[in-house]
Amino acid sequence: MESMYFADSQIFLVSAVVVLPLISFLFILAGKRFNTENLALFHIAVSFILSVYLFTGIWNKQTVHLQWSWFSIGNVEFKVGILLNNLSVLMMVLVSGIATLVHVYSRAYMKGDPDIYRYWAYLGLFCFSMLGLVVSDSLLLIYLFWELVGFSSYLLIGFWYTRDSAARASKKAFIMNRIGDLGFLTGIMIIYQQFRTFDLSLLFAENGLIQASFIQEAMWISGTSGMPEIWLTVAGVAFFLGAMAKSAQFPLHTWLPDAMEGPTAVSSLIHAATMVAAGVFLIARIYPVFNLQVLNFMVIIGTITAFMAATIALTQNDIKRILAYSTVSQLGFMIMALGIGAYSESIFHLSTHAFFKCLLFLAAGAVIHEMHHNRDKYGLDFDYQDIRLMGGLKKQMPLAFISMCIASAALVGLPLTSGFLSKDSMLIKVFEWADSQTGILKIIPYLMLLSSALTAFYISRLIFKVFFSKPQPVSIPVVSDAKDAPGQMTVVLLILALFSTFLPFGLNPLSYETSWLWSGFSSSEILKQELYHQIIPFMVNTISAGMIVLAYRMYVQNKPFRFVSDESFLYRFSSGEWYLNQFYSFAFVKPIEKVALLSWRFDRYVIDAIVLSAAVVVRRISDFSKWTDKNIVDGAVNGSASLVAWAGSIFRMFQSGRLQHYLLSVLIVLLTFLILIFLI
C-alpha cells in the first residue's frame, strides 16, 4: 500500500530530480547567456533537496518500481520506468549532493572564463544523464544514459578545446569509452536474446529471471529457451568490459589521467566522484549476472589496476595526474571487492571515496588556482600543476592544507576517517576470501596490502612536496604570495572534509559493521575470521604510518634514502606509466593509421582512378552524341529548313511587283504549254 501511495503522490519528485538539471541545460542552450551560474546552481540544489527527501522515504523502507510503455515493435512492448532501491537512492543523493558542492565551488573557480555559460550547460547535461542512469529500470535506458554520460564527459574534458592537449584528451576518453560501450551493448543483446526483456527488476531481483535460470548439460536454460553455457560468461565479461572502460580499469584506464585536462572542478565531479563510479554502479546493479569465472576475472583486473595505478602515482609530478592515478587505484579496489562478493563493502567505499577524492581534487584545485593566478600576476612561465615547484604552502593556505590532510588520511585509511572504515572493510574481506581460494588467487590480498602501502606513500609525497618542502627558486614569489581560496571554495572544502570523517557514516569510528551505509546492503557469505578484523586495520595503519615517515624523511628532511634512483628502470617504468600509452600507440594507433593511409591510397589511386576513367568514357560518349545531334539530327531539320528558304528565295524573285515581269512570266508559261502541246 505504501508503494501505491508513493506512486500517486511523489512520482513527480523523482522526475523532477532527474529533469531539473536538463531544464537548466536547455535554458542555457536556448540562449540564456547571463547569470547562468545561479540558474544552474538553483536547479541542482533543488534536485539535491528532493533527492534527500526521496532518500529518507526509501532507504531501507521500500523499493519503488514504476513503469510506462515506451514503444512497441510488432507484439513486443518496450517499457521504461524508474527503479528506486537502496543503491539508486544512495547514488542519487551522492551525485546530486557532490554536484551541488561542485557547482558552488565552480562559481569561484571558473570565474571570469569567457565561455562560462557552456560550462554550466554541460554540467547540467552531465547531472541529468548521471541521475537518469542511476534511476533507470531498463538496461536499454541505462545504456542511453550511459552514452549521454560519456558524451557530457567528452564535452567537459574538451571544455578548453583551444588547447590541443584538451582536445586530444577528450577524443581519447570518448574512444576508449566506446570500446566499453561495445561490450555493454553486447551484454544487453545476449541478455535480451535469452530473457526477452530489459527490465532490471524482472531480471536481477531476488528470484528474478537470472537466478531462476540454470546450467544444465552445458546449456544455459531460462524458461523454454536456452543457449550454450559459454554465453553466460560472455555476457558477464561484456558487461564488465563496459564497466572497465567507464571506471578506468586496466587496460582501458589510460583515458582517465589524460582527462585531467578538463577544469579541476569537473575532474573532481566526473572523473573522481561520480561518473567513474558508474562502472562500479553498473556491476552492482546487475550483480547476479556474473558467474564465478567472471567474478574471478574481476578480482584479477581490479587487483592489477589497483597495484599498477598505485605504482604509477608514486613518480608522477603533475598534482592532478597523481590524484587521477589514485582514483584509478581506488576504483580497482572497488572492482576487486565486487569480484570477491564484498558487495556492501564496495558500495561503502564508493560512497566514502566519492567524498574524500572529490575533496582531494577540490583542494588541489584551490592550490592550482592560486599558483596559476599568481604565476600570471608575476608574468612567470612554469607548469603551475607541477608539485616540484610548489612547497611551503602550509602557512599560506592553512584551510586547503587541513582539508587536504583529512582527505589524504581518509585515502590512506587512518583511524577516525571514513576511509578507515571502508578501505579496511574491503581488505578484511579480501583476506577472508583468500582463505578459501587456492593457487595464484592467494597472493591477491598481499598485493592489495602493498597497493594500500603505496597509496600512503604517494599521497604523503604529494602533501609533503606541496605543503612542507621548500619551493624552487623560480616559484618562490608565487608561493609566498599565495593565500587561501575565496569563501565559497573554502566552505565547500570544509563541508567535504566533514564528510571524509567517520561521523556521517556511523558513530563507532573503529568498526564498519555499525555503519548504517554498510548494513544497507548485503554481501555474499564469506567465512568470517575474527582474527582478521583485529589484525588487519592494525597492520594497514602500521604500514601506512611507516610509509608516511619514510616519505617525510625523503621529501621534507631530504635524506638521500632511496630504494631506486631516478635513472633506474623501475623508476622510469613507473613515471612512464608502464609505457602503456606507447604500447597502445605502437600496437593499435600506428597500425590503424597505416591501414587508414592504405585505404586512403586505395581510394585515391584505385577507386578514384576507376571513377575518373569512367568519367572520361562517358565524356567521349557524350561528345559523340553531341556531334550526332548537331550534325545529323539538327542537320536534317536545318537542311529541310534551308531547302525551303532556298526555294522561297527563288520563287520570291517572280513576285517583283513589276507588271512587265508578270507578263513575261505569263508569256513563258503560255509558250511552255504551247510547245508541250505541239510536241506531244
Q: In the bound complex, what is the minimum distance in angstroms from residue 654's beta carbon to another protein?
A: 10
- 307 by Cβ neighbours in 10 Å (0-12 / 13-18 / 19+) ranks as buried
Select 175 or 664, whichever has its Cβ closest to another protein.
664
Query: What is the distance between the alpha carbons of residues 286 and 279, in angstroms, rounded to a whole number?
Result: 11
Select 215 or 670, whichever has its Cβ closest to another protein.
670
- 113 by Cβ neighbours in 10 Å (0-12 / 13-18 / 19+) ranks as middle
Q: In the bound complex, what is the minimum distance in angstroms from residue 667's beta carbon to another protein?
A: 7
Residue type, 216: Q
Query: What is the distance between the alpha carbons of residues 650 and 273, in angstroms, rounded to a whole number?
Result: 102
DSSP string over 529-593? -HHHHHHHHHHHHHHHHHHHHHHHHHHTS-----SS-TTSHHHHHHHTGGGHHHHHIIIIIHHHH
Query: What is the distance between the alpha carbons of residues 124 and 122, in angstroms, rounded to a whole number?
Result: 5
Q: In the bound complex, what is the minimum distance in angstroms from residue 646's beta carbon to another protein?
A: 19
Select 531 or 666, whichever has its Cβ closest to another protein.
666
Spacing of C-alpha 635 from chain mean position = 72
Select 602 or 654, whichever has its Cβ closest to another protein.
654
Query: What is the distance between the alpha carbons of residues 306 and 218, in angstroms, rounded to a whole number?
Result: 35
Burial annotation 574-606 (CB, 10 A radius, 16+ → b, else e): beebbebeeebeeeeeeeeeeeeeeeeeeeeee
Select 73 or 659, whichever has its Cβ closest to another protein.
659
Do 48 and 56 form a contact (C-beta atoms < 8 A)? no
Select 68 or 651, whichever has its Cβ closest to another protein.
651
Contacting positions for another protein (CB under 8 A): 655-660, 662-664, 667
Q: In the bound complex, what is the minimum distance in angstroms from residue 663's beta carbon to another protein?
A: 6
Query: What is the distance between the alpha carbons of residues 117 and 121, in angstroms, rounded to a whole number?
Result: 6
Do 143 and 527 form a contact (C-beta atoms < 8 A)? no
Q: In the bound complex, what is the minimum distance in angstroms from residue 666's beta carbon to another protein?
A: 10
Q: In the bound complex, what is the minimum distance in angstroms from residue 671's beta carbon to another protein?
A: 11
Q: In the bound complex, what is the minimum distance in angstroms from residue 660's beta carbon to another protein?
A: 5
Spacing of C-alpha 8 from chain mean position = 35
Count the residues in the chain. Answer: 680
Q: In the bound complex, what is the minimum distance in angstroms from residue 670's beta carbon to another protein?
A: 11
Q: In the bound complex, what is the minimum distance in angstroms from residue 659's beta carbon to another protein?
A: 5
Other C-beta atoms closer than 10 Å to the C-beta of 73 total 7
Antiparallel, parallel or unpaired: β 214-216 and 219-222: antiparallel
Comparing CA positions, the residue from 65, 345, 39 lying closest to residue 204 is 65
Select 637 or 667, whichever has its Cβ closest to another protein.
667
Query: What is the distance between the alpha carbons of residues 326 and 312, in angstroms, rounded to a whole number?
Result: 9
Q: In the bound complex, what is the minimum distance in angstroms from residue 673's beta carbon to another protein?
A: 16
Select 607 or 667, whichever has its Cβ closest to another protein.
667
Q: In the bound complex, what is the minimum distance in angstroms from residue 651's beta carbon to another protein?
A: 12
Query: What is the distance between the alpha carbons of residues 278 and 274, in angstroms, rounded to a whole number?
Result: 7
Assigned C-alpha cell, 394 = 602550509
Select 395 or 661, whichever has its Cβ closest to another protein.
661
Select 33 or 652, whichever has its Cβ closest to another protein.
652
Antiparallel, parallel or unpaired: β 219-222 and 225-228: antiparallel
- 276 by Cβ neighbours in 10 Å (0-12 / 13-18 / 19+) ranks as buried
Select 587 or 664, whichever has its Cβ closest to another protein.
664
Q: In the bound complex, what is the minimum distance in angstroms from residue 676's beta carbon to another protein?
A: 20
Query: What is the distance between the alpha carbons of residues 584 and 197, in angstroms, rounded to a whole number?
Result: 37
Select 33 or 658, whichever has its Cβ closest to another protein.
658
Q: In the bound complex, what is the minimum distance in angstroms from residue 618's beta carbon to another protein?
A: 52
Other C-beta atoms closer than 10 Å to the C-beta of 503 total 13
Select 583 or 654, whichever has its Cβ closest to another protein.
654
Task: Determine the 3-state secondary structure of 655 from DSSP.
Answer: coil
Assigned C-alpha cell, 409 = 588520511
- Tell me the H-state helices in 59-85: none
